[in-house]
Amino acid sequence: MSDQAVIPLRVVGQRLPRVDAGERVTGRAIYPADLVRPGTLVGSIKRSPHGHAVIKSVDTTKALALKGVKAVVTGADFPEIVPGTIIPFGETGADLWVSALIVMARGKVLWVGQPVAAVAAVDEHVAAEALSLIEITYDVLPAVASIEAAMAKGACVLHPQHTTKGFEPGAAIPPNIGSRTLLERGDAELALTQSAATASIAVKVYTGHQGYIEPHACVAEADPQGNVTLWASSQGAHQTEIQTAGILGLPQSKLKVVPLELGGGFGGKITVHLEPVAARLAQISGRPVKMVMSRAEILAGGSGPPAAAQVSVEVGAEADGRLKAIAGRYVFDTGGIPGTPTTLLMQASAACYQTETLRLEGMDVVTSKPRTEAYRGPGGIQAAFAVEQAMDELAIKLGMDAVAFRQRNAAVTGSLMPAGTPFPSIGLTTILERVAAHASWRDPLPPGKHPRGRGLALGYWRGTSMTSAAQLTVAGDGRVMVTMGTVDISGTRTTMAQVAAEEMGLSIDDVHVATGDTKSSAYSDAAAGSRVGRTMAAAVVDACRDALGQLKGRAAERLQAPEVDVTYDRGVFRAGGNGGTAASITLGELMRQTLTDGAIIGRGVSTKLPFGVEVGAHVVDVEVDPETGQVTVLRYTAFQDVGRALNPTAVEGQMQGSVVQGLGWALTEAIDYDADGKVRNASLLDFRLPTALDVPPIDCVIIETPVPGVPYGLRGVGEMPIVPVAGAVANAVRRAIGVRVTNMPMTPERVLAALKNKAGNPA
Amino acid sequence: MKTVVQCEVNGEPREALVDPRDTLLQLLRDRLGLTGTKEGCSNGNCGSCTVLMAGAPVCACLVLAGEAEGAHITTIEGVADGNDLHPVQAALIQHGGTQCGFCTPGIVLSAVALLAETPQPTSGQIRHAIAGNICRCTGYDKIVTAIAAAAAEMQAGARQ
Amino acid sequence: MIVDLKHIGEMCSVVRTPDKGWRIGAAVSVRQLGANGDLARDYPGLIEAAQLIGSLQVQSRATLGGNLCNGAPSADAVPLMMSIEARVEIAGTRGRRMVNIESLPVAPGKVALTPDELLVAVLLPPRPARSAARYLRFTPRREMDIAIAGSGVAVRLGAAGEIAHARITLASVAPVPLRATKAEARLIGERPTAALLAEAARIAAGEAKPISDTRASADYRRELVAVLTRRALDACVAEAGVGGSKP
Ligand SMILES: Cc1cc2nc3c(=O)[nH]c(=O)nc-3n(C[C@H](O)[C@H](O)[C@H](O)COP(=O)(O)OP(=O)(O)OC[C@H]3O[C@@H](n4cnc5c(N)ncnc54)[C@H](O)[C@@H]3O)c2cc1C
């Protein structure tokens, strides 16, 4: 398959518009909140006002008695699910217990906003009144709503039954640790003492949010024979089905999940939130139930934000710039349920560098906050905010140019990754050459009203693989339909139409790509982990080749030639090679003649594909108002190796969107929890997503170093470009004003505080 | 007590029974079935529900349904003439200015309002015009490009 | 009961008063306000301040009357109106009254209107010669944000270039928009040197009574008052100095 790259491509690699853009720009695309089913009820959730409390009693009598209320549910309406109930998901599986607690509290509430009960009523006014009539008594327990509070000596333990893994026997374990992981190679401590120069930094990152503009929503309907249909906007219809069926105790044959359009997910719509509740309300009421979260619910406990973190890093190098050691401690806030993994993010933060020794220690800490969920390269931006600043500071101490320092230490194909395995093909050195030669790095920074600086940071993410499935059928006119088991979060319908058109030798207009529901498509993992473009492309290629094999057999019959002599090129089967005189039949004609001989179904499944390692470098220019601390981003250039851009417009869209999300968290976005875990800024006025005026144009430089063993040499695309953003901005700020800002977001107030701190303690 | 509101939506006379607490957004989506206008925050902070009232962009979530009495309202459903797209819509498709699509209807209406008043906007004016519309997918870059291209297209069309 | 004020004629118009001031209907939207070129020449700072409110969508709806009667300490159009000594006309069941705008805000979310009263119009005095008025606010985002602090400054220069009159009103640093009277007093009669303006701004910061909340700490707000006030004073002095007024 790696030979694909040398054949000139017709459709793959083109800047084609999204095939589904027309319905988007006209408002016709249907998201769950838009769906109208006859007799639909409004479902609404009663949420915990406490950060940590025992639920003593829940009395729903008055709510049930209210006219217009059709169903009320509490934790008692769902089967008990114990920790460690593993369901299929990706390479490791997922614990259904986590999803179950996110959906509905049992026995205890673990964060403000955790669901405790729900109602279905004839309209939102009645539903709101019904919620107010549900009487809940709590035994309030101490909340620990930050990493510090949770790890403090004597802190209230949120999961007393949980055993912390990963510590050496006899080690003093702080309270509320989920687990600990260690990546170690050589003696980093010793190497640091032997280094000619070292740099260290300790950063604190506050809870951010994915900030998808479409609030969580779904519609559920149950028929009299027990079949449940769920219209969802999720990152994976099959994941939604497995989790929902498991939480309801429903056989999967009785549940169909129909993926409607997804108004942004970014990791936050993999775990189910409303879906099992809507389904249960629909089963009880016998009516369709629509649930839509409000923005305040989303920001205050209804959804899983990305993790807050505390990361400290020390790095050391020889005088010539060669890295000797990276030592880091990564403490991540998992929210109310343990189990946020830290291995991948630790790796990611150090992966771009070759180092003699390495010691990375990671922990997840349980706090009285919503269970964290994935967000675009989960943990990457937080970790890189520390590591990239430390690297930059080390370059400054060594008197080296920031790019040259990275070039000195850049990971190359075959060098060791932090986990100790050799790197598969990566093009980091190519990227750095491009950066060094690019105007965004070489142009002098024009002077401004206030101090300006230019920053650089690197990023890595491991595009994961998991499994994807596609089936391809051929219509009576030779046109092709592909049904995918994944949803479309990044233009997948379009890029897969390009792949199918390429493989089938057709034009993109001859191909239709659908995102299947769970009863018409085969199991595919979620659209997450920078995997869908690559792995679905592999599945589609498989499906095309399978179908073409079947078609060749039919063509051979029609052309009365041995199958081995039949060739296919751009819609035409020929007997005896491509010579002009040989007999031929077009795909369309073949199908017209043979459709009724039986359907052609091409099967495509990809699994265990090589990882699509993503690397990149970001260069940013900022201006800092030294009196207010405000950081203005003047110019931004993102370099990324994508293996091959299936559709450069789509790739740039991923890069630009990632960068702006990263800028948001880097500079203004944070959920503000008080000591009891209550959110003080649950609106998009005070949770500040960047507007068009807050960001500059984002220039993209796409580099293509193909990955062997993957169709077209594709890499992951969508996650890496958020990883370096905060580090790049911090490095630019440092170069502008001479101080490091160690708290993220780097709000104006924090930047000013850092400046004053410097003034107060001159180095 | 519910009252009847009469207004003109996308050039067509419409009427509906509304609760005094209802917003224009609820009137459009729930009573008139015009679900192209999206609800993202119910607070005027995200712009997903942008519609035009007498040509001016407003957040439908901040307007009471009762205030629509006698108003001329344009929603996303009224921007194209059938399948004949407005240049802003065509440019968003062409330049990759729509991804998940949830903010797109609001962006389209803000852009249509801008170009009606400022036919040749600078990129700064474009960014200002959509600053009340939060997009989380695109980073705004391709939206700004698309609106500029639509402006150029409309100028070229006007000269012909 | 909900009353829609946007259909009452006198509340929806902007007119020049016989004394060459302005009468702005309380229900005039910021969008309409910005379209009035003459007003923008007299009081560009007021238009600028009003155009900070929310987004264009919000400005299609937001009015000066609403900005005032909302009673928010962060209201962006209010400090400048106070500094230029605007008055408001109030209509009630017992007739009309005219009050100084400064007496209106009484507490966060509260204004000195009785339940039967309506704010009908805002009256701006004629713009004095050699005067200028500007409002600066600070927000982490460029738009769609609420002032962490703001400063609305009005300055009139005397014949010798000295500061003849100055008013400073601060936003978001007290329960209501706050006059910085000590800072004002420091300026009167003095030549507007950079050092003087900076000193007055620091005095204003001292007069602020900010709180810490999710948007900012009290200390940071105070810092911002000094910066914003100095910058607004600088801008006003520069503008007033180059004539600053039409005849
Ligand atoms: C998304 C968003 C962003 C915002 N951003 C800003 C900002 O950046 N800066 C800022 O200053 N403000 C901001 N605001 C608040 C802003 O002050 C108001 O939206 C606007 O100025 C109020 O004008 P309105 O005419 O819409 O008043 P309304 O919201 O209709 O009314 C506000 C209050 O005043 C009363 N009222 C209104 N008019 C009168 C009258 N004539 N007589 C008596 N009472 C009256 C109303 O009964 C109500 O209690 C924002 C609001 C939103 C929703």
Interface with C, mutate which of A694, A744, A757 (most C CBs under 10 A): A694
Q: What is the pLDDT of residues A250-287, one digit of tens each?
A: 999 999 999 999 999 999 999 999 999 999 999 999 99
Q: Is the per-residue pLDDT at A488 higher than 60? A: yes
Cα-to-centroid distance, C91 and ligand 1 (Å) = 19
**How many whole angstroms separate alpha carbon C217 and alpha carbon C223?**
10
Q: What is the pLDDT of residues C33-66, one digit of tens each?
A: 999 999 999 999 999 999 999 999 999 999 999 9
Q: Which chain B residue has the Cα nearest residue C141?
A: B131
- Does the model's pTM come out above 0.95? yes
Mean model confidence pLDDT for chain C: 95
pLDDT at C1: 63
Q: Is the per-residue pLDDT at C198 higher than 60? A: yes
**B132/C56 Cβ within 8 A:** yes
pLDDT at C245: 42
**C227/A749 Cβ within 8 A:** no
**B59/C58 Cβ within 8 A:** yes
Average pLDDT over residues A731-754: 98
Surface of C (22-51) touching B: CB under 8 A: 29, 31
Q: Decide if the complex's ipTM is over 0.85.
A: yes
Q: What is the pLDDT of residues A533-575, one digit of tens each?
A: 999 999 999 999 999 999 999 999 999 999 999 999 999 999 9
Cα-to-centroid distance, C79 and ligand 1 (Å) = 15
A368 within 8 A of A110, measured Cβ to Cβ = yes
Task: Return the residue whose CA atom lies nearest to atom 8 of ligand 1.
Answer: C53
pLDDT at A50: 98
Q: Quote the domain boundaries for residue A739.
A: 420-461+611-760
Q: What CA–CA distances, in Å, run from A598 to A482, A545, A557, A601, C163?
A: 17, 18, 14, 9, 93
* Among the listed residues A448, A473, A490, the one whose alpha carbon sits nearest the alpha carbon of residue A656: A490
Mean model confidence pLDDT for chain A: 96
Q: What is the pLDDT of residues A407-417, one digit of tens each?
A: 999 999 999 99
List chains adjacent to chain B, taking adjacency as at least 3 C-beta pairs closer than 8 Å.
A, C
For residue A263, the domain's CATH number is 3.90.1170.50
Chain A touched by B64 (CB under 8 Å): no
In this structure, what DSSP letter does residue A417 have? P
Q: What CA–CA distances, in Å, run from A255 to A73, A90, C140, C233?
A: 19, 21, 46, 67
Report whether residue C152 contacts ligand 1, using a CB cutoff of 6 Å: no
pLDDT at A508: 96
Binned at pLDDT 50, 70 and 90, residue C247 comes out as very low
User: Are residues A121 and A39 part of one domain?
Assistant: yes
Chain C touched by A630 (CB under 8 Å): yes
Q: How many other CB atoms are there within 10 angstroms of residue A79's CB atom?
A: 10
User: Are residues A263 and A138 part of one domain?
Assistant: yes
pLDDT at C6: 75
A356, A614, A652, A719: which one is catalytic? A719
Among the residues of C134-217, which ranges form H helices? 181-187, 194-207
Percent of chain A with pLDDT over 90: 94
Q: Which residues contact B56 (CB under 8 A, 6 or more apart)?
A: B113, C29, C31, C60
Q: Which of the following CATH numbers is that of domain B87-159: 1.10.3720.10, 1.25.40.320, 1.10.150.120, 3.40.50.300?
A: 1.10.150.120
Which chain A positions have a beta carbon within 8 Å of C213's beta carbon? 680
Positions of chain B with pLDDT lower than 50, given as ranges? none
Task: Give the architecture-level CATH label for domain C5-124.
Answer: 2-Layer Sandwich (3.30)
The tokens of A326 are what? 């990276």
User: Are residues A119 and A254 part of one domain?
Assistant: yes
Enumerate helices (H) and strands (E) in chain C, giving the number of each. 9, 11
pLDDT at A314: 98
Chain C touched by A661 (CB under 8 Å): no
User: Are residues A509 and A436 part of one domain?
Assistant: no
**How many whole angstroms separate alpha carbon A44 and alpha carbon A423?**
49
Q: Residue A680 domain-assigned?
A: yes
* Residue at which a domain ends, from A542, A574, A607: A607
Mapped onto helix, strand or coil, the DSSP state of residue A405 is helix
Mapped onto helix, strand or coil, the DSSP state of residue B115 is helix
Which chain C positions have a beta carbon within 8 Å of A300's beta carbon? none
Chain B touched by A701 (CB under 8 Å): no
User: Are residues A452 and A592 part of one domain?
Assistant: no
Q: Is the per-residue pLDDT at A175 higher than 50? A: yes
**B58/C61 Cβ within 8 A:** yes
Task: Return the residue whose CA atom lies nearest to atom 50 of ligand 1.
Answer: C54
User: Are residues A703 and A564 part of one domain?
Assistant: no
Among the residues of chain C, which ranges form H helices? 30-34, 37-42, 44-50, 56-59, 64-69, 78-83, 181-187, 194-207, 218-241
* Residue at which a domain ends, from A239, A271, A302: A302
CB-based burial of residue A83 (10 Å sphere; 0-12 exposed, 13-18 middle, 19+ buried)? middle
Report whether residue C30 contacts ligand 1, using a CB cutoff of 6 Å: no
CB-based burial of residue A85 (10 Å sphere; 0-12 exposed, 13-18 middle, 19+ buried)? middle
Q: What is the pLDDT of residues A18-57, one digit of tens each?
A: 999 999 999 999 999 999 999 999 999 999 999 999 999 9
Q: Which residues contact C227 (CB under 8 A, 6 or more apart)?
A: A627, A628, C138, C201
Task: Return the residue whose CA atom lies nearest to atom 5 of ligand 1.
Answer: C54
Q: Is the per-residue pLDDT at A367 higher than 80? A: yes
Separation of first and last alpha carbons in chain C: 47
Q: What is the pLDDT of residues A645-681, one digit of tens each?
A: 999 999 999 999 999 999 999 999 999 999 999 999 9
pLDDT at A4: 40
Q: Is the per-residue pLDDT at A623 higher than 90? A: yes
**C213/A749 Cβ within 8 A:** no
User: Are residues A218 and A102 part of one domain?
Assistant: yes
**How many whole angstroms separate alpha carbon C109 and alpha carbon C106?**
8
Chain A touched by B95 (CB under 8 Å): yes
To test the ligand 1 pocket, which listed residue (C13, C69, C104, C169) has its Cβ within 8 A of the most ligand atoms?
A: C69
Of the partner residues A627, A691, A753, the one whose CB lies closest to the CB of residue C144 = A691
Q: Residue A622 domain-assigned?
A: yes
Interface with A, mutate which of C138, C172, C221, C230 (most A CBs under 10 A): C138
**How many whole angstroms separate alpha carbon A562 and alpha carbon A132?**
76
* Among the listed residues C130, C176, C121, C138, the one whose alpha carbon sits nearest the alpha carbon of residue C154: C130
pLDDT at C59: 98
User: Are residues A748 and A641 part of one domain?
Assistant: yes
**A214/B40 Cβ within 8 A:** yes
Which chain C positions have a beta carbon within 8 Å of A449's beta carbon? none
pLDDT at A463: 86
Chain B touched by C242 (CB under 8 Å): no
Task: Return the residue whose CA atom lies nearest to atom 11 of ligand 1.
Answer: C75
pLDDT at A254: 98
Domain count, chain A: 3
Binned at pLDDT 50, 70 and 90, residue C244 comes out as very low
User: Are residues A756 and A704 part of one domain?
Assistant: yes
Q: How many other CB atoms are there within 10 angstroms of residue A135's CB atom?
A: 13
Binned at pLDDT 50, 70 and 90, residue C246 comes out as very low
Mapped onto helix, strand or coil, the DSSP state of residue A236 is coil
Of the partner residues A681, A691, A749, the one whose CB lies closest to the CB of residue C142 = A691
Q: Is the per-residue pLDDT at A759 higher than 90? A: no
- The DSSP bridge pattern shows strands C149-157 and C163-171 to be antiparallel
Which chain B positions have a beta carbon within 8 Å of A24's beta carbon? 98, 101, 104
**B103/A294 Cβ within 8 A:** no
Residue range(s) in chain B whose domain bears CATH number 1.10.150.120: 87-159
Residue range(s) in chain B whose domain bears CATH number 3.10.20.30: 3-78
Task: Give the architecture-level CATH label for domain B3-78.
Answer: Roll (3.10)
Surface of C (117-156) touching B: CB under 8 A: 142-144
Of the partner residues A22, A689, A698, the one whose CB lies closest to the CB of residue B93 = A22
For C131-240, CATH gives: 3.30.390.50
pLDDT at A612: 86
Q: Is position A719 annotated as part of the catalytic site?
A: yes
Q: Answer left, alpha or beta for residue A563, where phi above 0 means left and psi between -120 and 50 means alpha.
A: alpha
Cis peptide bond N-terminal to A721, omega within 30: no
**How many whole angstroms separate alpha carbon A273 and alpha carbon A73?**
15
The tokens of B34 are what? 């015009």
Q: Is the per-residue pLDDT at C15 higher than 70? A: yes
Which chain B positions have a beta carbon within 8 Å of A22's beta carbon? 85, 93
Chain C touched by A688 (CB under 8 Å): yes
To test the ligand 1 pocket, which listed residue (C53, C93, C135) has its Cβ within 8 A of the most ligand atoms?
A: C53
The tokens of C174 are what? 């007290």
User: Are residues A258 and A237 part of one domain?
Assistant: yes
**How many whole angstroms separate alpha carbon C118 and alpha carbon C123?**
15
The tokens of A145 are what? 């709503």
Average pLDDT over residues C213-217: 96
**A685/C144 Cβ within 8 A:** yes
Interface with C, mutate which of B128, B135, B136, B147 (most C CBs under 10 A): B128
Q: Residue A331 domain-assigned?
A: no
- The DSSP bridge pattern shows strands A197-205 and A743-744 to be parallel
**How many whole angstroms separate alpha carbon B142 and alpha carbon A654?**
11
List chains adjacent to chain A, taking adjacency as at least 3 C-beta pairs closer than 8 Å.
B, C
* Among the listed residues B81, C213, B18, the one whose alpha carbon sits nearest the alpha carbon of residue A123: B18
Binned at pLDDT 50, 70 and 90, residue A582 comes out as confident
* Residue at which a domain ends, from A273, A302, A331: A302
A-B contacts (CB, under 8 Å): 173
User: Are residues A444 and A480 part of one domain?
Assistant: no
Residue range(s) in chain C whose domain bears CATH number 3.30.390.50: 131-240
Average pLDDT over residues A475-490: 97
Report whether residue C118 contacts ligand 1, using a CB cutoff of 6 Å: yes
Q: What CA–CA distances, in Å, run from A349 to A207, A343, A724?
A: 18, 10, 9
Chain A touched by B40 (CB under 8 Å): yes
Q: What is the pLDDT of residues A109-144, one digit of tens each?
A: 999 999 999 999 999 999 999 999 999 999 999 999
Q: Which residues contact A639 (CB under 8 A, 6 or more apart)?
A: A431, A434, A435, A438, A616, A617, A618, A619, A701, A703
The tokens of A93 are what? 């599986």
For residue A628, the domain's CATH number is 3.30.365.10
